[in-house]
Amino acid sequence: MTTALQRCSWVGDDPLYLTYHDEEWGVPNGDSRALFEKMILEGFQSGLSWITILRKRDHFRRVFDNFEAEKIAHYGPQKIEALLADPGIIRNRLKIEATIDNARALLKLREKTTLGRFLWDFVDGKPIQNRITGRSDVMAQTPLSALISKSLRKEGFRFVGPTTVYAMMQAVGMVNDHTISCYRHEAVSKLLPDIR
């Protein structure tokens, strides 16, 4: 008889969610394109459940040119209208327009640094190791996520409030918020990001 793996309580039993939790969530990611994607998707997720975004992620990637900032920065009114008519994404004009603004902000940021270095510098390039025992221990935001949010807004990014930033930090492994009873906690705690 095999024992089921113990996971974070939020996972449930959806196969897509299980794969996301087991292979992606909390794994330190320093790739700037992947970080930009996560930032945008977390912005779209605001007010919704993450599984909703996860189910639409492949379509988001297709219609947003794989989150290549150079392409998104040039989206005009015709592309915006096409996106607003696309049921495969979250059709919210403010979030779509913010995505375009964020692509432009990212291109401007690149004149100084990469998004990976910008974000990971806040934690000195190493994930914060939290000791979460249950859902009640997980914070929606922290003073650090508020600082990063403020810094991103100063650089011209939108839909990057402290709660959205903290969700991104968890997802990309800037903080290890796997519960200590979760089988992924220890494995993830040994990883460092490849920052680029």
Positions annotated as catalytic residues are: 20, 42, 50
Q: Are 32 and 196 in contact (CB under 8 A)?
A: yes
Question: b or e along 104-123 (b: 16 or more beta carbons within 10 Å of the residue's beta carbon)?
Answer: bbbeebeeeebbbebbbebb
CB neighbourhood size of 14 (10 A): 13
What number of H helices and E strands is found in the chain?
A: 10, 2
Q: In whole angstroms, what is the distance from residue 155 CA to residue 39 CA?
A: 14
Residue 57 has phi, psi (to 5 degrees) of: -60, -45
Q: DSSP character for 89? A: S
Asked if residue 5 lies in contact with residue 185, where contact means CB atoms within 8 angstroms, the answer is: no
Give the HSE-up count for residue 11: Cα atoms under 13 Å, Cβ half-sphere: 25
